[in-house]
Structure 1
Amino acid sequence: MIIMVNRWFMFLLLIPWMLQSCSGSDDTVDGGDLDDGFSTVVRDLPGDTNGSMGGDVDGKTKQGFDTFLFRLSDQKQVWLRNEADSARWMKTADWDLAFTGPYNSEVFVNNANYFYNPGYEGEAVNTSVVMIDQPYETVNEAPSDEEFDTSEITKIGWATSAYDDGWFFYSMDTHIAIPVRDRTWAIRLPDGKYAKLELISVYQGNPPEVTNMNWPAPYFTFRYYVQEDGSENLKTQ
Structure 2
Amino acid sequence: MRKGFYLLVLVSFIIASCSNDDDGGEVACAENTFFEDSDGDGLGNANESQSACEAPEGFVANSDDNDDTQALANLITASITDVHAPQEGGQGQPISGDFTKFDLDTGQITTSDTDWDIAFRATTIIVNGGVSQGTTDEPERTGNAGAYIATGTMSDITSVDTNLFVQDAADILAIPSGSDNGWYNYSGPPLFLITPLPGKILVFRTTEGRYAKVEILSYYEGAPSNPDTTVDASRYFTFNYVYQPNNNVTVF
Does 2:178 correspond to 1:146?
no
Normalised by the length of structure 1, the TM-score is 0.60
| Bigger radius of gyration among the two | 2
Match of 1:72 in 2: 104
User: 2:184 is aligned with what amino acid?
Assistant: F
Partner in structure 2 of residue 156 of structure 1: 175
Q: Residue 170 in 1 paired to residue 186 in 2?
A: yes
- Alignment size in residue pairs: 168
Residue deviations 1:116-143 (CA, integer Å, cap 9, x gap):
2855452x13x21111111122110011
Structure 2 distance, partners of 1:157, 1:42, is 22
Gapped runs of 5+ residues in structure 1?
Answer: 1-36, 55-62, 80-88
Structure 1 residue matching 2:165: 3-state secondary structure: helix
Structure number with higher strand proportion: 2
* Partner Cα distance (1:140, 1:177) in 2: 28
State the partner residue of 1:41. 79
Determine what percentage of the aligned residue pairs are the same residue. 21
Distance in 2 (alpha carbons) for counterparts of 1:211 and 1:158: 22
Per-residue CA shift, 1:203-236, capped at 9, x if unaligned?
A: 01212223351322222101211111231111xx
Following the alignment from structure 1 to structure 2, what is the Cα–Cα distance between the partners of residues 181 and 149? 22
Which structure is higher in helix share?
Answer: 1
Root-mean-square deviation (CA), in Å? Answer: 2.9
TM-score by length of 2: 0.57
Contact 1:130 1:151 in 2 (8 A): no
Is 1:108 matched up with 2:163? no
- Distance change >3 Å, CA 195–CA 149, structure 1 → 2: same
Distance in 1 separating the partners of 2:101 and 2:141: 17
Distance of aligned partners of 1:233 and 1:65 in 2 relative to their CA distance in 1, 3 Å threshold: same
Q: 1:132 aligns with which of 150, 162, 167?
A: 150
- Between the aligned partners of 1:64 and 1:132, the Cα distance in structure 2 is 30
Aligned-partner Cα distance in 2 for 1:160–1:196: 21
Is the Cα contact below 8 Å between 1:105 and 1:157 reproduced in 2? no
CA 1:47–1:229 in structure 2 vs 1: closer, same or farther (change >3 Å)? same
Tell me, yes or no, if structure 1 residue 195 matches structure 2 residue 199.
no
Instruction: Give distance in 2, aligned partners of 1:149 and 1:64.
Output: 25
How far off is 1:167 after superposition? 1.2
